[in-house]
């Protein structure tokens, strides 16, 4: 079954450093998302990406964050200057399709990249 | 403003019994509701969904009920199995391609 692949699985960085998290979405999917989950908290939406541009972003997704799809396959999340509170599990997801029984959009998530900022 | 709430952080049931996980929402613009299951060290995986025009959707052992007037949905798992032990997230979206808003999750433990 097709998978969303994320790298690295775990990254430790110093506060103020730049971090790039990488994702390879499922090849024929068109919508891509980044979510994050701070330990023990809910999964929070960061940004959605469609047709090579941001379609929606949350208030968490400030100027320190950026996304791009540089080569048509990888989908990256960059944090320019990491803060302690950026420590979280970051999930990439792509839109699998719409359920016939509900019309709901079903996201396929990657296993996540754990970011630890020291 | 927490638009999707799962008030029970954890639930423990005996194998073979019914598990009922609850979710409340505040945004009346939500039209699509989904349940995801998450195991440790994995991303959430889709379980079942329902749209606001229905009040019930069933898929095998899993049934989702929606009470739109109460802004409440629930996931029933029957019979529960030890492999169902995971964190269950309720999620809602206003459009079928828009962002999903997740609840805090409920950790289900099914005891053999």
Condensed to tens digits (0 to 9), the pLDDT of residues B59-87 reads: 999 999 999 999 999 999 999 999 999 99
**In this complex, is the C-beta atom of A60 within 8 Å of any C-beta atom belonging to chain B?**
no
| DSSP-assigned states of every residue in B17-31 | S-EEEEEEE--TT--
Q: How far, in Å, CA of A62 to CA of B72, rounded?
A: 32
Q: Which residue has the higher pLDDT, A53 or B21?
A: B21
Q: How far, in Å, CA of B83 to CA of B105, rounded?
A: 17
> Which residues share a beta bridge with A80?
none
Main-chain dihedrals φ then ψ at residue B95, nearest 5 degrees: -130, 165
**In this complex, is the C-beta atom of B41 within 8 Å of any C-beta atom belonging to chain A?**
yes
Tell me the pLDDT band of B1, cut-offs 50, 70 and 90: low
Q: What is the pLDDT of residue B65?
A: 97
Nearest chain B Cα distance for residue A16, angstroms: 27
Q: What is the pLDDT of residue B44?
A: 93
Q: Of chain A residues 4-23, which have a CB less than 8 A from chain B?
A: 4
Average pLDDT, chain B: 94
CB contact under 8 A, A103 and B34: no
Q: How far, in Å, CA of A101 to CA of B56, rounded?
A: 11
Tens of pLDDT along A23-72? Answer: 999 888 888 999 999 988 889 999 999 888 999 999 999 999 999 988 87
Q: What is the pLDDT of residue A34?
A: 96
Length of chain A in residues, anyone? 118
Within 13 A of B61's CA, how many CA atoms are on the CB side?
12
CB contact under 8 A, A42 and B89: yes
List CB contacts (< 8 A) between B59 and chain A. 101
Q: Which residue has the higher pLDDT, A41 or A118?
A: A118
């Amino acid at each position: 079954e097709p998978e969303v692949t994320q790298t690295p699985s775990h990254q430790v960085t110093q506060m103020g450093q730049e971090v790039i998290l990488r994702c390879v979405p499922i090849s024929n999917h068109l919508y891509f998302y980044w979510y994050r989950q701070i330990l023990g908290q809910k999964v929070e939406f960061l940004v959605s990406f469609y047709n090579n541009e941001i379609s929606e972003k949350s208030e968490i997704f400030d100027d320190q964050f950026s996304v791009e799809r540089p080569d048509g396959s990888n989908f990256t999340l960059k944090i320019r200057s990491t803060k302690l509170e950026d420590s979280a599990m970051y999930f990439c997801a792509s839109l699998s399709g719409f359920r016939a029984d509900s019309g709901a959009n079903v996201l396929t998530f990657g296993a996540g990249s754990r970011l630890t900022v020291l | 403003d927490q638009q999707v709430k799962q008030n029970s952080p954890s639930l423990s049931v005996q194998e073979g019994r019914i598990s009922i996980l609850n979710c409340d929402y505040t945004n009346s613009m939500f039209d699509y509701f989904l349940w995801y299951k998450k195991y440790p060290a994995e991303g959430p995986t889709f379980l079942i969904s329902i749209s606001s025009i229905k009040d019930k959707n069933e898929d095998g052992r899993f049934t989702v009920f929606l009470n739109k007037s109460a802004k409440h949905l629930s996931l029933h798992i029957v019979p529960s199995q030890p492999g169902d032990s995971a964190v269950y997230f309720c999620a809602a979206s206003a459009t079928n391609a828009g962002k999903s808003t997740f609840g805090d999750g409920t950790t289900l433990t099914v005891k053999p």
